Structure 1
Amino acid sequence: MLRALFIVYAVASSALLDDATAADAETRAEHIVQLCAEHHRDAVGAAYPDAYHIRHLPSLRGLVVEATQAEVAALKSHEGVCNVARSHEVTHRPDAGRRLDVDALRRNNEWWGKSHNQGKPWNLDRVNGKLDGNDAFEVSSKGTNVFVLDTGLDTLHQEFEGDREVENVGSYSNFHPGGVWEDKEEWDLTSENRAWLKDNNDSDGHGTHCASTAAGKNYGIAPLANVYGMKVLPGGSEGVIVRALDRVYDLVKRKKVKGPTVVSMSLGGKCRDQDGNEGPGTKYCAFETHYARAIRDLRDIGVLTAIAAGNNGEDACEMAPGASRDAVTVGATNINDRITFFSDYGNCVDVMAPGENVAGAASSRE
């Protein structure tokens, strides 16, 4: 039935489209299809055998599909579909705050001085109080879990040593055209062309650096925390994150991961409405995007989501997922406790924290 609707819609529309518009209409883009009820899943999914099924996030249960404009129109008219929204592509933030590799820093006295205070990483020294050369924390991070949604994770880096779990639990595989989300449980780790995914799937370095500032043994806020990498930016650039958030919800809900859990995301993009248009308004960006709803679902089971406000020097309320009101959105300060020139700002920023000249780990595949 769906395929018939697609054909009828395409034929009726073709006479009204010029060549450029017609080509655009046939371009497939990722969409979130929200089902009105679970019993509609098979009927809607039959037309998309390669769809990813969102089965865990309560407010987004449905499918992630690659669809043309004609197919989207047909889906919206289906009795079993309550909503169809274009996926928001996100990128990791430009490194305006300078991403500094600890190994390279030791060979560069200038940058070592800018990233350290009295021999200690200045960001850790400042977070635990005043800049006094003491970067120790009174509260232990043992048993805490940090999911880092980014470009991947170099689990073999010395910053992640210790008696804790550090592993990659999900990835977009570059071995499949278009990118296919793969959970760790489905990986064939005996296969030579996939074995590296287990230990280091970060060819960009951004994810490894962010993970080390969160949970590195020398450069992290929570040096004893378990770290789980989720590669949502397959080429080190653009990606989408709903699949990963669905996976986190499932792992926590089934108690595969126990203890206080944080999702860390230093990524984002312009907030868009369900048709992909920019500027839908602050309320929509804060509560109604699929990112905002997924983050609210995670909050309801006790998972904290921390998101970088952004490095664009713009209003954070215009960004997604940073505008989500159920997340903790973090702006950037420098060593003088002033907002950096690049940090996003505004009412959607919940807290300011060190974000300039911050040292951390670099991936061996970078």
Structure 2
Amino acid sequence: MGYTLGVIPTLSHLPPTTIGLSMPKHPLTPMMVQYLVGLCCLKSDPDAVDVTIGDMVYDATAEEERDVDVTVTITEAGGVTHAFKAYEVKREGSPLDVAKVEQLCMKFIDMPSVTHRSIVSASGYTATARKKAEKYGISLYEFRAWTRPLQEQFPKLTMQGTAQECFKMASTLLCWSQYQLALVAPQATVDFTVEPGDKLFDSSGSAHRTHATFDEYRNELLLRSTQLLFSLMSAASVMGSLPSLEASQEWPHSHTLDVTNDAVYVDTECGICRIDFVTITGHLQWQNITVEPLYYVIDNISTGDAFAGAVISSLQGDGNMTALVFSPKTRGIDIQPIRLAKKHQNSIRNLKLKLSR
């Protein structure tokens, strides 16, 4: 059984087909939607000098800083940074109603430093909510499945058909196809063995909060190893050397991880002992797989124009993704890895974004 991480998107520009879009309305978590909106803001605005997810902006009425989902610092002619654009990202089960939109409008009004105010909804808006936003000069956008032909909203790409028809994604994954793990626990004075189902502990002897069993921890270590090894390799050289087969030849490798900061303890004859180092020895292999990407676009509700689009690789078990980000203003396509830390899975604060070029 392989454990994989590290996605290299491979684009295939294909003629239009009759394949339809079939996916849940929004299989992304709220934090993933917020992150993607941030990426789209960065791609859409060439004058952006800073894009922050979970920014804190001063509320003049409350006299305190308050959270704004996405802020974009922009630069005017001459290189003078002068303003914020702000986007509130909402992922509700039903369209945003007038009460919710009015609350957001009032929030923006009390933030004089924000000069461009917008709301992005992943569930649409009611008719009265649209009227309320128009009254207060708030721009409305919707984060939705990308189904319209590219030539209608992204003419600079000079492609015919939908994003799903024009961009199909494959992945090259780095895998431990065969392996064994050697654990180093300096506090243990005798040899010990850890079975997959054995429980793990913290320094107090309580159950470990992150990894319940060694089997779970082993999977995490294999993923961590391939991620680190993948980051040391050139994507271009990998794609050039990998044959057009499902898998490459295996090669022997050994990788030692310092896991002291994980604070994982195992039960031995000497009591509970901390694992400080793990060495993985075995064989690595590159594997080609077909993925089913997700296709999203952010549309301006008033004009129907596209703000930005994204093609996203299938979600991996650890929440990591790779996104292709598009702007209707340019032919350029950015390939952006999305690696949310565990602390950002439920809430994002003050996370700065940069596009990988």
Structure with more strand by fraction: 2
The structure whose RCO (Cα within 8 Å, separation 6+) is larger is 2
Same fold flag (TM > 0.5): no
TM-score under structure 1 length normalisation: 0.22
TM-score under structure 2 length normalisation: 0.23
Structure with more helix by fraction: 1
